[in-house]
């Protein structure tokens, strides 16, 4: 089989997330969009976002352009294991962006995702995020940062109209599982102290109270699926 992973257009990445990813959207920040082709057929994209959350790297003492988020793995039917696709994508990303030190990804428990693929690739699991909420306006989901009392939001220096909280329905979201992938030895040494045993099921986010005591001991993972 002929496998190709290379940068793709916004149009191609958008097509893949609209058809093969539950979010149906691309992040608004700077993106690194990699397409995946098998036997010259486009089967999806892997998208990294930089600067999407300004304080994403603060707790790791790195700048916002030294960390990025693996935000979308949007794939149609494919032959290559997701773990292999991600490994190649990470090599390309690191080579073309040598200042990057850390990749973060969040497995969404609201979609019954546990992050099995990250466990299979030995990413460092660092615990649950805080609970969050999303806003629903005219059938469309909005992140908290995209809903303001004034009805306008500043996106990279440009003011845009947005919904107001009073116009929206609010849905409380369960925490997500946070996984870290260091890109150098120094960063790995720094974040290893944050490592927690891998979660084995979704029980820990049912009535979560901040405790991770229900997590089982880390074990071997054989399943290659559940990538965002």
pLDDT of 121: 95
> Which of 10-19, 21-30, 132-141, 196-205 is the least confident region?
132-141
pLDDT of 148: 83
Same domain, residue pair 35 and 125: yes
pLDDT of 108: 84
Same domain, residue pair 40 and 150: no
Same domain, residue pair 41 and 138: no
In the chain the beta strands, taken as DSSP E runs, fall at 3-7, 30-38, 41-50, 67-75, 102-108, 124-128, 132-137, 140-143, 152-155, 158-161, 169-173, 176-182
Residue 14 in domain: yes
pLDDT of 173: 74
The phi and psi torsions of 35 (rounded to 5 degrees) equal -90, 155
pLDDT of 123: 97
Residue 113 in domain: yes
Q: State how many domains the chain has.
A: 2
Does the structure show a pLDDT above 60 at 14? yes
The phi and psi torsions of 23 (rounded to 5 degrees) equal -70, -30
Residue 218 in domain: no
Measured CA distances, 141 to 49, 134, 177 (Å): 19, 7, 21
| Percent of the chain topping pLDDT 70 | 86
Does the structure show a pLDDT above 90 at 168? no
Same domain, residue pair 19 and 84: yes
Residue 226 in domain: no
Same domain, residue pair 9 and 112: yes
Residue 37 in domain: yes
Residue 220 in domain: no
CATH classification at residue 15:
3.40.630.30
Same domain, residue pair 140 and 87: no
Residue 217 in domain: no
Same domain, residue pair 24 and 107: yes
Average pLDDT over residues 59-78: 93
Same domain, residue pair 198 and 115: yes
Same domain, residue pair 16 and 72: yes
Residue 219 in domain: no
pLDDT of 52: 61
Contact 23/108 with Cβ under 8 angstroms? no
pTM beyond 0.85, yes or no: no
Q: pLDDT tens digit string along 71-95?
A: 999 999 999 999 999 999 999 999 9
Same domain, residue pair 31 and 117: yes
| Percent of the chain topping pLDDT 90 | 52
Kindly report the average pLDDT of the chain as a whole number.
83
pLDDT of 162: 84
Same domain, residue pair 10 and 48: yes
Q: pLDDT tens digit string along 117-162?
A: 999 999 999 999 877 777 788 877 777 777 888 887 776 567 878 8
Same domain, residue pair 8 and 100: yes
Domain that holds residue 75: 3-130+175-205
Does the structure show a pLDDT above 60 at 69? yes
Q: pLDDT tens digit string along 105-114?
A: 999 887 778 8
């Amino acid at each position: 089989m002929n496998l190709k992973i290379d940068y793709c257009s916004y149009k191609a990445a958008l097509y893949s997330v609209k058809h093969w990813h539950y979010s149906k959207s691309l992040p608004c920040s700077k993106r690194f969009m990699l397409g995946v082709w098998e036997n010259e057929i486009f089967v999806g994209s892997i998208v990294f976002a930089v600067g999407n959350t300004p304080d994403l790297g603060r707790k790791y003492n790195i700048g916002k352009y030294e960390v990025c988020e693996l935000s979308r793995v949007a794939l149609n039917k494919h032959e290559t294991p997701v773990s292999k696709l991600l490994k190649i994508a990470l090599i390309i990303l690191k080579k073309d962006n040598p200042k990057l030190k850390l990749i973060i990804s969040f497995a969404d428990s609201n979609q019954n995702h546990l992050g099995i693929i990250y466990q299979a690739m030995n990413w460092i699991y660092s615990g649950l995020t805080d609970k969050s909420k999303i806003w629903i306006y005219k059938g469309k989901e909005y992140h908290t940062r995209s809903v303001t009392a004034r009805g306008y939001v500043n996106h990279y220096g440009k003011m845009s109209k947005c919904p107001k909280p009073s116009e929206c329905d609010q849905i409380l979201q369960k925490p997500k599982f946070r996984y870290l992938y260091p890109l150098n030895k120094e960063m790995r040494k720094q974040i290893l102290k944050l490592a927690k045993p891998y979660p084995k099921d979704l029980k820990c986010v049912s009535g979560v109270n901040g405790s991770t005591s229900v997590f089982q001991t880390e074990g071997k993972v054989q399943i290659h699926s559940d990538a965002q």
